[in-house]
């Protein structure tokens, strides 16, 4: 937030006028007692000091933002260089479990845009009743159940009877600094040369 300062007057009980340098967009006094003066000329000096310090603060903030943006764009470009049509991305997320999902890049657009389709996984080795090492199966498109609401399973059923499966639709996403955000809980990262991934359903 850009801090703005101005001089405000206050009259004491004895009629003496006192001047404060206040931050107008928060009503905070500049420098606490340093912003208090009984002389308007002195208050003007303090006002100039406050505004000068704020200009320096804004310059430093702008410099930091530029550096952060430069780092972000550098990381983003590095991530984008690892993603092309046919690339496999993976997610790994969950609270008391490890959900691993795989996506295949089927198209790109613009500088940062990618079109993804979720693909199936196969088990490499079961490591426990609730976990396994899995790997992606390229070009094996994941499906979702299709329900017909005109065929209710019971009275009041709005979802309807299962009528089969269909491929999950492609999704359009944007490459970020570290990967591709799929939803609020999952980001997809380039799988690279990794052969398998740990997946656990929890307990």
Q: What is the pLDDT of residues 118-149, one digit of tens each?
A: 999 999 999 888 889 999 999 999 998 888 88
Low-confidence ranges of the chain (pLDDT < 50): 33-34, 203
Entry pTM: 0.72
Element (H, E) at 116: strand 113-128
To the nearest whole number, what is the mean pLDDT of the chain? 86
Alpha-carbon gap, residue 183 to 188, rounded angstroms: 9
Could you give phi then psi for residue 115, rounded to 5 degrees?
-110, 125
Predicted local distance difference test score (pLDDT) of residue 77 = 94
Residues 6 or more apart from 168 whose CB is under 8 A from it? Answer: 117, 118, 141, 142, 143, 144
CB of 36 closer than 8 Å to CB of 29 = yes
Predicted local distance difference test score (pLDDT) of residue 11 = 75
Provide the CB-side half-sphere exposure for 43 (13 A, CA): 18
CB of 5 closer than 8 Å to CB of 54 = yes
Number of H helices, E strands in the chain: 1, 14
Predicted local distance difference test score (pLDDT) of residue 138 = 95
CB of 137 closer than 8 Å to CB of 198 = no
């Amino acid at each position: 937030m850009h801090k703005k300062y101005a001089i405000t007057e206050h009259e004491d009980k004895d009629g003496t006028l006192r001047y404060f340098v206040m931050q107008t967009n928060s009503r905070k006094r500049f420098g606490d007692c340093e912003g208090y003066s009984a002389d308007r000329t002195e208050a003007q000096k303090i006002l100039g000091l406050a505004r000068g310090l704020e200009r320096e603060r804004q310059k430093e903030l702008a410099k930091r933002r530029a550096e952060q943006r430069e780092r972000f764009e550098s990381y983003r470009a590095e991530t984008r260089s690892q993603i092309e049509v046919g690339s496999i991305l993976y997610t790994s997320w969950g609270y008391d479990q490890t959900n691993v999902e795989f996506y295949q890049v089927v198209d790109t657009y613009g500088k940062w845009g990618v079109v993804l389709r979720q693909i199936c996984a196969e088990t490499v080795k079961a490591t426990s009743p609730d976990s396994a090492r899995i790997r992606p199966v390229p070009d094996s498109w994941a499906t979702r159940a299709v329900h017909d609401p005109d065929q209710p399973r019971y009275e009041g059923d709005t979802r309807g009877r299962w009528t089969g499966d269909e491929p999950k639709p492609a999704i359009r996403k944007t490459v970020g600094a570290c990967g591709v955000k799929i939803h609020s809980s999952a980001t997809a990262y380039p799988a690279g040369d990794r052969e398998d991934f740990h997946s656990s359903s929890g307990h």
